[in-house]
């Protein structure tokens, strides 16, 4: 195993000071962006969030997602999106955003008889 050294493994994408960082900044492995991964199963109706990973670019993120999250035959379609591109609700806003719907029982269609042949209800 002497040929599999940390130097060999970690040196392929250099991060040291000898790498020119301007004007085109080299993307070092420490800078690999975080991606969120969504997978749709064979009979799944929608893509489901399954986890996240780091990748150097969008294409390699799809590849890595294939290897990390679909290696047990879970999926037939993959979406990846940079975590930084997701706009999320803030925990601070939780009450104003979600509490008002907590007592509006009339918003649920529970007062109707649902015909048996209506799917996905």
Partner 1 sequence: MAHEETVYDALDSAHGGEGQWAFGTGFDDPLAGVDTTVPDGVDPADLGAYCLMLGDDALVLAQRLTQWVTAAPELEEEVAVGNIALDLLGQARLLLARAGSAGVLGRSRERASATIPDEDALAYFRDADEFRSTGLVAAPNGDFARTLVRLLVAATVRLAVFARLRESRDPVLAAVAAKGVHELAYHRDHAARWVLRLGDGTPESHRRAQAGVDAVWPLLADVFSPTDVESRLAVAGVAVDPATVRDEVVGVLTQVLDRATLRVPGWPADAPPRGRAGAHGPELAELLGTLQGLARQHPAATW
Decide: is 32 part of the binding site for partner 1 (CB under 8 A). Answer: yes
Which CB atom, from 6 or from 114, has the smaller least distance to partner 1? 6
Please identify which residue in 36, 64, 78, 80 interacts with partner 1, judged by CB under 8 A. Answer: 64
Q: Please identify, using beta-carbon distances, which residue of 58 and 95 lies nearer to partner 1.
A: 58
Q: Does 54 bind partner 1 (CB under 8 A)?
A: yes
User: Of 43-51, 81-89, 93-101, 105-113, which part binds partner 1 (CB under 8 A)?
Assistant: 43-51
One-character DSSP codes across the chain: -TTS-HHHHHSSS--STTS--SSS----GGGPPEEEEEEE-TT-SS-EEEEEEE-SSHHHHHHHHHHHHSTTS--SEEEEEEGGG-----GGGHHHHHGGGTT-GGGS-TTSPPPTT----
Among 23, 36, 73, 113, binds partner 1 (CB under 8 A): 73
């Amino acid at each position: 195993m002497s040929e599999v050294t940390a130097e060999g493994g970690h040196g392929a994408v250099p991060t040291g000071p000898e790498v020119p960082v301007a004007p085109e900044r080299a993307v070092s492995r420490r800078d690999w962006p975080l991606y969120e991964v969504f997978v749709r199963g064979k009979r799944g109706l929608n893509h489901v969030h399954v986890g996240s990973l780091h990748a150097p670019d969008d294409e390699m993120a799809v590849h890595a997602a294939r290897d990390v999250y679909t290696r047990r035959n879970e999926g037939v379609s993959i979406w990846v999106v940079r975590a930084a591109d997701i706009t999320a609700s803030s925990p601070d806003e939780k009450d104003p955003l979600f509490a008002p719907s907590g007592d509006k029982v009339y918003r649920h269609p529970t007062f109707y008889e649902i015909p048996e042949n209506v799917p996905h209800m």
